[in-house]
Structure 1
């Protein structure tokens, strides 16, 4: 039985490419690789021969290219675009350190990727072997026989005996170095095998961010893994070009309010969404309907809250936030009636006795009024007692209770609405009752007002900016009500930062100077995230916060693999089997000692 799915039984039945598909030609030979120490023969392998023939079509060392395929490298990754016989473009990225593949099937350069699935009637593995050829070329035997076969091809395969001998050795060399990789040391080609046959998908996010852009092109021209991201790279905004540059009103804030205007940390990289929101808020100020409601949604760790603070800094407005929970109700947004203690009011639940007046008039007076007076006389206290009792009697005659008293406490939302601040409403999709947020629609509308629990009516200040930030596709999250979304002037889906931005952020926050290790950590965090999505592991989280904790732990322990087990791995899932799967697939081989 094969050690990897690349050599499952069905793969040996895949048809051979020309000119090896002739019936007169044998499929086995005594011409074998030096790594074959267990059998006396070598066997043709269809997917390998197809990959070799396509590679030679692309190889321009002898002839001009006859193929649209391409292959290149980026650090420890080999990247390839393989034009299959079915007309699809199979895009593959192979990580030499971890031995892991990522792949996707494209109909053309503008299409989205579909899963690359190893199967007899699907993807046969030729694209994977194609991607491995530069690694296989490091072996002298492989390189020598490749050159021989290439010359035979250039000559039109006039010498089939020589071509077949080279082909047998190449197929056998590949097979032995992959299947017996653990025992061959540096000459082995180690791959992390897919248990299901589904190769992890190349995500559109990583393609857009340019994370899979070859820095060195060996042969061909790339269509999908271009040297630049698939979308225009965002311009980095300097902090001095943001902070206070988008004020839409000149206001004098108190010292307390000025403390609420955020300052941006040196490590913070301003996302383009922040600049876009600030620009829209300012540019529409004099219009009939200024843009003041915005939404940012995306997975944890994409910087939504930091972005909301940066928006407040750009607008020069104080920032407040309100975090929702499953039990949040509309009254929690609008304010709460909290019980007063004895120092909270001038009334009492229990009057002082005459003995209290005689023995400690100051304390008795405090019990009646909430004010402590050292020089108060017994007569003053007595007069105050009569006054309070008379007030309470009138209240009782009107049906009021002289028992527990309450006071109204306004929420950050109400404070921001009244005073014209930036208010971030965090995680509204976790609210159990989907109609709760709809209750705020009146405040989200133009010229809005709402009635508080006290009966008072507050009007939304024209400068108030509402920013809703929420995760999506997480356990416990619900769909946002459409009436709320329709009141948002701009809605942004925040993508995870690129590996380079993650690296810079983690290094600046933690002070770690080991760039190569932190870069590998950042790449691993993205791999873990993608693996969890593909495997439907949804009981955890792995993002920027977990990366920062991992880097900090690594700085203490000096062991990235050990630190990963109780930072990113522990956060990714609570299920032991899922953690073991993530460890084996995404982490262990990258950081093995």
Structure 2
């Protein structure tokens, strides 16, 4: 059965999959049945004509046939998987770029990442949604260093759109999301009056004063004329500046992005202390896509402004989102952590470090420490791809694996000195001969 398919070099994948189902089912029954109930391995407990109905693909994908318990190893449902090959930034630019006219003034905002970078499946999914649907609102969640911001910048570069970024903090309020008020430090007021020169005052003080206040005082002294001129200039300047505003309204990056086709990244919205603050943007996220500024101006979001929220959900200080904001997102994508192999490839490309054996060890160490932090519920530190890259860069400078691990990795994994020492003894020192 399965052996027969192997001899045929799996030329018929459907027949091979069917044989695998039967073998898995029969083996499962052999394990749980007593000797009298055992079913021969070459037979299935299902009749052949029922097999397709009993094991439909959607049920397999939904995990209906997952085991109740695993005693040893890991249970896998056998399925043919067509793994999508990641494409480069350059390849995707050929497909998606050039569809929008970009203002010359904002072209400098288009990112310029290396075009041989591989684009993540999450970024490509957003590109497909933008291309084939009116969806323009997205959210990416995940640990630091998983590439959320890089994805947003890649999307902007592939589409050929300017990239704007707005970073939230605990104190971000509704007003700040759209605009802020700043003191008017560069007043535009200037006196539209002709002022006499010092030579004019010396030669004819009465005429010099008359050019300023329109009054000719016969016999006025130079000193008095000079004082009167200064007084008149001050009074006119004061009246002029009184009519100017003390504060100016400065548009946020969110408003600037909404005025044209662009990619807007809103970083760390979960950090905002009051979850309801983001609802100020709901009217921009609705179909009407219009909101009002404090000066009464109406802002309408351009239909091709792509909004990508990027955030961590489990870090210190993060709050839950208001449900009305979540409801308006077209996609919410959890970013998976990079695998060891992906970390190695990215670090080699970004740092130029060529020792793949050592880099593989460093990536494996980072992954093990990351898992350790989760298992031990250590929440006062972080360990991910950024820490790996910093470790590599530090090692390239110092050529000291242990010292660079302390400064770039262990010191960030936890603030507890004892925990740092434990991680060094368990994950680093036993393997330092790799250096």
Give the structure-1-normalised TM-score.
Answer: 0.54
CA contact (8 A) 2:183 2:246 kept: yes
Contact 2:196 2:211 in 1 (8 A): no
SS in 1 for 2:127: helix
Give secondary structure in 2 for the equivalent of 1:566.
helix
Q: Is the 1:299–1:471 Cα contact (8 Å) retained in structure 2?
A: yes
Pick closer, same or farther for the CA change 1:229–1:358 going to 2, 3 Å: farther
Relative to structure 1, the CA distance from residue 454 to residue 518 in structure 2 (aligned partners, 3 Å threshold; closer, same or farther) is: same
Aligned to 2:169: 325
Gaps of 5+ in 1: 1-67, 70-82, 85-106, 115-122, 128-221, 285-289, 362-376, 396-400
For residue 257 of structure 1, the aligned residue among 91, 96, 106 is 106
Return closer, same or farther for 1:283/1:346 CA change in 2, 3 Å cut-off: same
After the TM superposition, which residues 43-62 of structure 1 pair with which residues of structure 2 at under 5 Å, given as runs?
none
| Residue 458 of structure 1: aligned partner | 299
When residues 380 and 250 of structure 1 are mapped into structure 2, their CA distance, relative to the original with a 3 A threshold, is farther
**Does 2:188 match 1:345?**
yes
- 1:314 aligns with 158
**Deviation at 1:479?**
1.3
SS in 2 for 1:425: strand
- Partner secondary structure for residue 95 of structure 2: coil
Distance 2:96 2:163 in 1: 15
In the other structure, the counterpart of 1:235 is 85
Displacement of 1:527 in angstroms is 1.0
Q: Distance between the aligned counterparts of 2:182 and 2:334, measured in 1?
A: 38
| SS across alignment from 2:338 | coil
Mapped partners of 2:369, 2:251: distance in 1: 42
Report deviation, 1:394: 9.3
Structure 2 residue aligned with 1:436, among 271, 274, 277?
277
Distance change (3 Å), C-alpha of 1:474 and 1:252 = closer
**Does 2:287 match 1:446?**
yes
Matched residue count: 355
Structure 1 position 359, deviation (Å): 5.5
The structure in which a higher percent of residues are helix is 2
Using a 3 Å threshold, how does the CA distance of structure 1 residues 525 and 359 change in structure 2: closer, same or farther?
farther
Alignment of 1:349-368 (within 5 A): none
Q: What is the distance in 1 between the residues matched to 2:85 and 2:199?
A: 72
Q: Map residues 21-100 of structure 1 onto 2, 5 A cutoff.
A: none
Specify the alignment match of 1:283 in structure 2: 132
RMSD: 3.8
SS in 1 for 2:304: coil
Aligned partner of 2:21 in structure 1 is none
Asked if structure 2 preserves the Cα contact closer than 8 Å seen for 1:557 and 1:563, the reply is yes
Distance 1:113 1:443, change over 3 A: farther
The 2-side partners of 1:460 and 1:582 are apart by: 49
Larger RCO (alpha carbons 8 Å, 6+ apart): 2
Q: Distance in 2 between matches of 1:428 and 1:229?
A: 39
Structure-2 change in CA distance of 1:528 and 1:405 (3 Å): same
- Is the 1:109–1:223 contact (alpha carbons within 8 Å) kept by the matching residues of 2? no
Superposition deviation, residue 510 in structure 1: 1.1
Report whether the alignment pairs 1:486 with 2:327.
yes
The match for 2:121 is 272
- Deviations, residues 394-436 of structure 1 (Å, cap 9, x unaligned): 99xxxxx558711111111000011221110000001111111
Matched position secondary structure for 1:583: helix
Deviations 1:92-146 (A, max 9, x none): xxxxxxxxxxxxxxx99946998xxxxxxxx9xxx7xxxxxxxxxxxxxxxxxxx
State the partner residue of 1:499: 340
Residues 281-337 of structure 1, C-alpha deviations (whole Å, 9 max, x = no match): 1112xxxxx101011000100000000011112222111000000100011111111
Distance 1:238 1:389 in 2: 66
TM-score of the superposition, structure 2-length normalised?
0.72
1:267 and 1:509 in contact (8 A); partners too: no
**Cα pair 2:99 2:159 within 8 Å, conserved:** no
